[in-house]
A and B are shown apart, each in its own frame.
Chain A
């Protein structure tokens, strides 16, 4: 069952479009995302997947169209305001606080979620609950032993895990993963996939996943949408979408051609 027809979607884009000069990077994309569903967004390089994510999470402003979260139009809100409304994003290029420890990176996410950032007259470590929670998240991504290491000294795979940890710590309603396993070594990938699987199993989480690896997409997704040149060209159950001619041509064909 494709759940795009359920009553109130957690996230919806309506005619979302962005132009850079004459180039239309995302073109009139309307799509609904419902809780308990993991939607994979696939498409060739330059199809507009990350741009679509940027429009949703607020790093880019749409030329036209709307982004709606739980019924509220958030198109005009800043990235931070969207985060506070339950949109969580892990970035494709690792985007952390390079000189703060892994624990502090996660603690800052927990602190934001707890809305404790404006507390000025208490010492930060008086909020033991925030530290405990950050530590438990690090445990979940198997980085507990590296809690005092700064990201700049972590391996690429560990940085990717930390990126995922920040997203988990935010406890968003909508999880947006942008190629979470890119550049990871083969033995590290299962940890991250397991985490995404766990999140998906919670019925209230809405998960969006941009991913190139078709085996990952097949194993995790409930639904696939295909972007090609910024346009939504296919939307449906994984098996059907992968088999459809438009996808074979637009995406998988190109993959095959490249070998």
Chain B
């Protein structure tokens, strides 16, 4: 996996300009009209999903997109900005999920136990990230990646073995605090035809926390600290010679990334009212994250938004789309079979290969190039 960024970063923005968007986006604007439009569309659709679509699947898809934007953006901080190839990212995602699940199951469905669970999860993630960082960021990149892989595998085995605590392979189902339950009504009357219940509150909790964490990550990669990370990625030896403590900076990046992934895991568990190995801890999620970063565009942050939205939508709706296509082509030779819903993974794979081949800088890289 190459760790070079999607494109040379914009260093011409030396004149600090005021304005709402520069403040919110940390002076790192999309720099492409098409990209701005896409990002705005994703933001508005996610913000309005409960009122635009009926049924539970669109809302669940939207919540999953929000969570994965945070998860993928935090991974981009590591891979795209710091040049660190870690395979332990789902471990931190899982710790967040289990923190919430175990606390709410054991301590009862209150906000207090959710806070305790999240705090414990953040603490554990920080300690693990520091330990992995200090022990292994001194060694060569490939060994670091191998160590993270080993630690992540150990964590997955541990989670399935400690079934008394984690529920093992079955995972844990739990009750949410009353305000987040479907039966809870904030308003007695529906708003624009949508009942304002606990499910809606849960969605907006996921949406707003994801938005804030994403903007904080965007700020961090555009801070003096973020600039040091990029310098280390470019030339570690020189960064050290300039007086930057490379191991300390890399460890800090790992911790920040791990904490954001933990928050994402907590949100995922809150939304699903369940946490298990397959929803947060499995290695296939790690591969999904890698694909989302690469497809969206490494080292751009906005790539996480585009990549996560596209990927989760494809995962959720490609089968539906193919079923429709297959039905429409019924009677023709071969074609209906080719786009039979059972082949959806084949087409998903083909889409990825094509997009990586056609847009080596990811979608964001391609759009910015076109915009210049």
Contact = CB atoms under 8 A, between A and B. Distances in A.
A124 B223 contact: yes
Contacts, number: 119
A228 interface: no
A78 B222 contact: no
Contact of B219 (A104, A107, A121): A121
A67 interface: no
B286 to A, nearest CB: 26
A34 B28 CA distance: 46
Given A101-B11, A103-B11, A103-B14, A122 B223 contact: yes
Interface residues of B, number: 38
Of A96, A107, A124, most B-chain CB atoms within 10 Å? A124
Interface residues of A, number: 44
Interface in A99-119: 99-101, 103-104, 107-109, 111-113, 116-119
Given A97-B235, A108-B231, A126 B243 contact: no
Contact of B237 (A95, A98, A99, A109): A95
Interface string B226-250: 1110110011011111111110010
A91 to B, nearest CB: 8
A108 B236 CA distance: 13
Nearest to A86: B243
Contacts of B223: 119-124
B187 interface: no
B120 to A, nearest CB: 24
Contact of A124 (B227, B235, B252): B227
B245 A78 contact: yes
Contact of A95 (B219, B224, B225, B241): B241
A93 B259 CA distance: 39
Contacts of B239: 97, 108
B225 A89 contact: no
A127 to B, nearest CB: 7
B16 A148 contact: no
B224 A97 contact: no
B231 A83 contact: no
A131 interface: yes
Interface of B: 4-5, 8-9, 11-16, 26-27, 219-220, 222-228, 230-231, 234-235, 237-246, 249, 252, 256
28 contacts: A80-B240, A80-B245, A91-B241, A95-B235, A96-B235, A97-B239, A98-B234, A99-B8, A100-B230, A108-B227, A108-B228, A108-B231, A112-B243, A117-B224, A117-B225, A117-B227, A118-B225, A119-B224, A120-B226, A122-B223, A123-B26, A123-B222, A123-B223, A124-B222, A124-B223, A124-B224, A125-B16, A148-B12
Given A80-B240, A112-B243, A119-B224, 12 more contacts: A89-B241, A100-B9, A100-B11, A117-B228, A120-B223, A120-B226, A121-B219, A123-B223, A124-B224, A125-B27, A126-B16, A127-B224
Interface of A: 57, 59, 78-81, 83-84, 89, 91, 95-101, 103-104, 107-109, 111-113, 116-128, 130-131, 148, 150, 166, 170
